[in-house]
């Protein structure tokens, strides 16, 4: 895989965003490479994992055990997120919008399951009698890979479970859920409706009531600021 992303690709390999964060005007070329044969998409990004781990966020006072929104995100869109209210601390900043990523995966056949998983999975997080925070997302399984160029000039690729670990001894397992909740999140580490892909093995309730958390495995990823290629592949 060539380690580059160009603003404009051929019609075969690129899709155009019809609606970019409310912008109404000529279609813009996407920064996402779509490989129909491999059923995968690839877009550029930047490592922020060490900063993600070191950052301490004031907890949400209304949460029973507190809530740290800056340690929920594996990948957030750098094309949309800001340093203000909408800013989030993710392990990676992705140089594509979450909408573009969602649409690119859908063009390859990715789909959310026809189930009851919806924004209440997050919105009802403090309601102990609500069944929604216990629901795990369902959809087309997605494998997640990160590639970068090492000092010797050779590319290295790792799968998501090679650089994250759970205090509950779980493995990340992503599925496509698409645009069911407005956010800038591309990939959530939990079963949250904000991500365009979400992890099925750790629900919102697991975080709030059971203390399940994801941490970075040290020494696997390159330093913060390193350019990477992020690949989502539909699992066969």
pLDDT tens figures, 183-193? 889 999 999 99
Its pTM stands at: 0.83
Q: Could you give the percent of the chain with pLDDT greater than 90?
A: 56
Parse the chain into domains and list their residue ranges.
40-234
Q: How far apart are the first and last CA of the chain?
A: 20
Nearest Cα to 99, choosing from 39, 185, 29, 34? 185
Q: Which two tokens stand for residue 227?
A: 């350019």
Q: Which two tokens stand for residue 7?
A: 């603003």
pLDDT digit string, tens, across residues 91-141: 999 989 999 999 999 999 999 998 889 999 988 988 889 999 999 999 999
- Is pLDDT above 70 for 169? yes
Q: Are 94 and 109 in contact (CB under 8 A)?
A: no
How far apart (Å, rounded) are the C-alpha atoms in residues 135 and 204? 8
Which pLDDT belongs to residue 33? 93
Segment 224-235 mean pLDDT: 95
């Amino acid at each position: 895989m060539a380690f580059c992303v160009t603003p404009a690709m051929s019609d075969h390999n690129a899709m155009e965003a019809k609606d970019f964060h409310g912008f109404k005007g000529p279609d813009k070329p996407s920064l996402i490479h779509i490989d129909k044969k491999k059923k995968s998409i690839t877009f550029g990004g930047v490592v922020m994992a060490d900063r993600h781990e070191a950052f301490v966020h004031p907890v949400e006072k209304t949460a029973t055990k507190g809530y740290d929104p800056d340690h929920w995100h594996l990948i957030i869109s750098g094309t949309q997120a800001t340093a203000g209210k909408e800013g989030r601390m993710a392990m990676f900043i992705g140089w594509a919008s979450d909408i573009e990523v969602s649409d690119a995966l859908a063009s390859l056949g990715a789909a959310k399951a026809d189930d009851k998983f919806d924004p209440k999975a997050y919105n009802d997080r403090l309601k102990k009698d609500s069944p929604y925070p216990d629901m795990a997302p369902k959809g087309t399984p997605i494998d997640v890979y990160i590639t970068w160029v090492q000092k010797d000039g050779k590319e290295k690729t790792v799968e998501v479970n090679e650089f994250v670990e759970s205090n509950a001894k779980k493995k990340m397992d992503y599925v496509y859920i698409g645009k069911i909740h407005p956010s800038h999140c591309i990939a959530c580490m939990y079963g949250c409706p904000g991500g365009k892909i979400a992890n099925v093995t750790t629900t919102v309730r697991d975080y709030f009531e059971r203390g399940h958390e994801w941490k970075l495995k040290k020494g696997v990823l390159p330093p913060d600021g390193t350019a990477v290629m992020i690949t989502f592949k539909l699992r066969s």
